[in-house]
Every structure is written in structure tokens, then in C-alpha cells.
Amino acid sequence: MKMRHRAHAAAVPCAVLVLGTVGCATGQPAERPSTPSATAIANIFTTQHRTTVIDDGDRPPQLCIGGVAQSLPPQCAGIDLEDWDWSAVGDHEQQGSVRWGSFVVAGEYSAPDNSLRVTSVSADGTDPRHTMEPCADGSREKTDPSNVMRIWEFIEEELGVRVFSGGDVPACGSVEVRVGHDDGSIQSAVDAEFGAGTASVDSALVPAP
């Protein structure tokens, strides 16, 4: 799996997009979706699968949604967790002062603060499964690396949304990029800019049932 990591101590947030209006028959081009608004506060969201949490003591515990380095102890950056209590989450691993484990985590998500105030934790749940579908000719061709960079930069620079990882290829010619939360508007903006099917926006957090 290809992942591109930025040199940030912790990933910054994804925000809700408000789609702009489309130009009519006035000779003016259609407007690009507007930049995200910072309104996703105090909404209850949850991870879709068991997700690694790492606490190294130097920063808030991290919900690792951008990939985990397979070192010992492991390393990652992601969403800051507030009100995290290791004594309440059950089994986990520890080496020195670093603790980690894999859980389904739910809480109040603040995109502007890149934080999740924890309301519930469960060790039950499924692990994510990533599959690569072959192309029509049977190959597993990946999209042009420069296209991956363009999609990544468009989401971060034009939409103001942090991409936590990118480069996974779930289907032939399509690239997957991961953000904290997408209500569908980020995917719509990417489709409008690059064409439907070029990229799949994966939302790490979804509204809790």
C-alpha cells in the first residue's frame, strides 16, 4: 500500500463542504464548490472499523486514520482524542510509556480542532479490508503518480481539507484518499474536478447510528 505522509505532528481536520451554485446559461462558467465551513462540531461520529489508538505521552492519544508504521512501538498521526481512558478500554499493549490498541471509537467530532471527544469505546468490531480489483485486462495497473499528487493537493489546497493518506488503489485506475469525515461533498468536488471514478474519498468517521 502506498502512502504519502506529510511532516506534521498531527493531522489536521477535515471540514464540511458547502457546494456552490452552478452557473446557468449566462455565459459564465460553473462555479467550483466553495471552501469548507467549520460547522462539524459536537456531532457524534464513529469509526467504521476497529482502528488503532496510540498514546506516546507527548501529545493527545491519536486515532490513527492515516496509516500505522509497523515499528515497535508503532507510530502514527491522526485525530486527537479527548477524554481517553486506558483503564476503561480493556486489553491493550504497552512498551515503555507508549500504549496502543485497536478499537471502535465514537465521540463528538470537531473538524476545526481535529479532535474527537470520546463517548464510547469497544474492542469488538471488524478490521478494515482493502481489496484491489484487477483491470479489465487482468492487470493491477495503478493510476499515474502525478495524478495522485494533483488529487491530494486539490483536496488540501483548494478545499482546505487535510488528506490523511492517499495512494491506495481499490479499483483499476482509481486512487483512494482518506479524510477525517466526508458527507459526500468532498467526493462530489473531486468528481467535478477530475471526473467520476478517478478517485474514491474514504471517510474515516461516519455518523453514529
- Which residues are paired to 100 by β-bridges? 54, 93
Cell of 176: 483512494
Q: Residue 183 pLDDT more than 60?
A: yes
d(CA 135, CA 61): 40
For residue 88, the 8-state DSSP code is G
Terminal Cα distance for the chain, rounded: 30
Q: How many domains does the chain have?
A: 1
Across 94-106, average pLDDT: 94
Report the share of the chain in percent with pLDDT over 90.
40
pLDDT at 29: 41
Is residue 129, in this structure, part of any structural domain at all? no
In a domain, residue 63? The reply is no
Residue 144 has pLDDT above 90, yes or no: no
Q: Which domain holds residue 190?
A: 145-207
Domain for residue 157, yes or no? yes
Domain-located, residue 149: yes
Q: What is the CATH number of the domain that holds 181?
A: 3.30.300
Point out the least confidently predicted range of 72-76, 138-142, 147-151, 190-194. Answer: 138-142
At 26 the pLDDT is 41
In a domain, 150, yes or no: yes
- Exposed (0-12), middle (13-18) or buried (19+): which is 22, by Cβ within 10 Å? exposed
pLDDT at 77: 85
The whole model's pTM is what? Answer: 0.69
Question: For residue range 41-73, what is the model confidence (pLDDT) as tens digits?
Answer: 458 999 988 999 999 988 999 999 887 888 889
| Residue 116 is assigned to a structural domain of this protein | no
Q: What band does 155 get if pLDDT is binned at 50, 70 and 90?
A: very high
* Position with higher pLDDT, 138 vs 202: 202
Residue scoring higher pLDDT (146 or 161)? 161
Residue 81 within a domain: no
Helix, strand, coil percentages in the chain from 3-state DSSP, rounded to 5: 15, 30, 55
**Residue 155 belongs to a domain:** yes
Average pLDDT in the chain: 76
- Beta bridge mates, 81: 116
